[in-house]
């Protein structure tokens, strides 16, 4: 199993959480997350020793990450429910209704075991049943397939402050539910144990995205981050980014 290096949190940044694009394609993820993940994926590609590296992007959106993977030389299949939204060129797109059991079963029959890597970036928090979601992806994995999942990190210092202030989880309030479809906040301990329960034995957890220790977004977040500074030692390294990332293998 590849050992990953954690992405360190910057000490200070004015990160404004502005939308990011790759070749005009919107990255529906935290700031810098796609670029950070590619650093890890390049290690997997290098370990593949020049063979064709086949990737499935499960829940691809406009195709920003699929396009990056394609430009790295990967053979990419991108899957999502909305064909009109997909704008990448190069990756092969499959329209798939994730809620239609027959469609999903047919896709599994046709593609199971054919991928070196399956990625699902900021998708699992949108689904009704994370257990079934991960079981489906496991059925697509061979014993040599890596599975890379990311989801909002509800253990970071900013999320802890927000819960202390409002009693709600950052990114999973009423607005998040109605406007962006965040319906499942999943802590790291739950994700790790789901992976174990459904049969993944190799599990790496690391942080992603950009959450500075001192956050100069505005004066309010600056003061909050300074207040939390003495408590940073309580936060594990894998909990310091705005995204929780999991690289697993059967």
| Cβ contacts of 29 within 8 Å, gap of 6 or more | 65, 121, 122, 150, 209, 243
- Mean per-residue pLDDT for 13-31? 94
Tell me, yes or no, whether 154 lies in a domain.
Answer: yes
Tell me, yes or no, whether 72 lies in a domain.
Answer: yes
pLDDT bin (cut points 50, 70, 90) of residue 30 is: very high
- Mean per-residue pLDDT for 106-117? 97
The pLDDT tens digits of the residues spanning 186-232 come to: 999 999 999 999 999 999 999 999 999 999 999 999 999 999 999 89
Tell me, yes or no, whether 49 lies in a domain.
Answer: yes
Q: Are strands 117-121 and 146-152 parallel, antiparallel or unpaired?
A: parallel
State which residues form the domain around 99.
Answer: 19-213+237-249
The pLDDT tens digits of the residues spanning 58-107 come to: 999 999 999 999 999 999 999 999 999 999 999 999 999 988 889 999 99
Answer yes or no: is pLDDT of 1 > 90: no
Tell me, yes or no, whether 12 lies in a domain.
Answer: no
Report the first-to-last Cα separation within the chain, whole angstroms.
Answer: 10
Tell me, yes or no, whether 43 lies in a domain.
Answer: yes
Tell me, yes or no, whether 232 lies in a domain.
Answer: no
Answer whether 61's CB lies under 8 Å from 238's CB: no
Tell me, yes or no, whether 109 lies in a domain.
Answer: yes
Answer yes or no: is pLDDT of 4 > 70: no
Q: Are strands 146-152 and 243-249 parallel, antiparallel or unpaired?
A: antiparallel
CATH number at residue 243: 3.40.50.150
CA distance 107 to 101: 10
Answer whether 221's CB lies under 8 Å from 15's CB: no
- Mean per-residue pLDDT for 107-116? 97
What's residue 5's pLDDT? 64
The pLDDT tens digits of the residues spanning 156-198 come to: 999 999 999 999 999 999 999 999 999 999 999 999 999 999 9
Q: How many domains does the chain have?
A: 1
Phi, psi of 34 (to 5 degrees): -60, -45
- Mean per-residue pLDDT for 7-31? 91
Task: Return the structure tokens found at 181.
Answer: 């479809």
pLDDT bin (cut points 50, 70, 90) of residue 50 is: confident
The pLDDT tens digits of the residues spanning 33-47 come to: 999 999 999 999 999
Tell me, yes or no, whether 203 lies in a domain.
Answer: yes
What percent of the chain lies above the pLDDT cut of 70? 97
CA distance 241 to 246: 13
């Amino acid at each position: 199993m590849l050992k990953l290096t954690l992405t360190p949190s910057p000490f200070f940044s004015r990160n404004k959480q502005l939308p990011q694009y790759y070749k005009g394609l919107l990255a529906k993820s935290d700031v810098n997350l796609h670029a950070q993940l590619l650093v890890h994926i390049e290690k997997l590609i290098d370990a593949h020793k020049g063979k064709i590296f086949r990737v499935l992007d499960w829940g691809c959106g406009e195709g920003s990450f699929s396009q990056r993977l394609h430009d790295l030389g990967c053979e990419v299949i991108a899957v999502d429910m909305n064909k009109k939204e997909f704008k990448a060129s190069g990756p092969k797109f499959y329209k798939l209704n994730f809620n239609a059991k027959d469609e999903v079963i047919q896709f599994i029959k046709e593609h199971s075991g054919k991928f070196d890597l399956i990625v699902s970036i900021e998708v699992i928090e949108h689904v009704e049943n994370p257990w079934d979601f991960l079981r489906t992806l496991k059925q697509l994995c061979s014993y040599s397939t890596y599975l890379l999942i990311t989801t909002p990190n509800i253990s970071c210092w900013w999320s802890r402050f927000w819960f202390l202030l409002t009693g709600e989880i950052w990114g999973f309030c009423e607005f998040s539910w109605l406007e962006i479809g965040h319906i499942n906040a999943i802590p790291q301990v739950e994700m790790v144990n789901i992976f174990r329960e459904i049969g993944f034995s190799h599990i790496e957890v690391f942080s992603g995205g950009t959450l500075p220790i001192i956050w100069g977004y505005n004066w309010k977040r600056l003061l909050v981050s300074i207040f939390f500074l003495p408590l940073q030692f309580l936060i594990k390294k894998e909990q310091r980014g705005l995204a929780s990332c999991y690289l697993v293998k059967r």
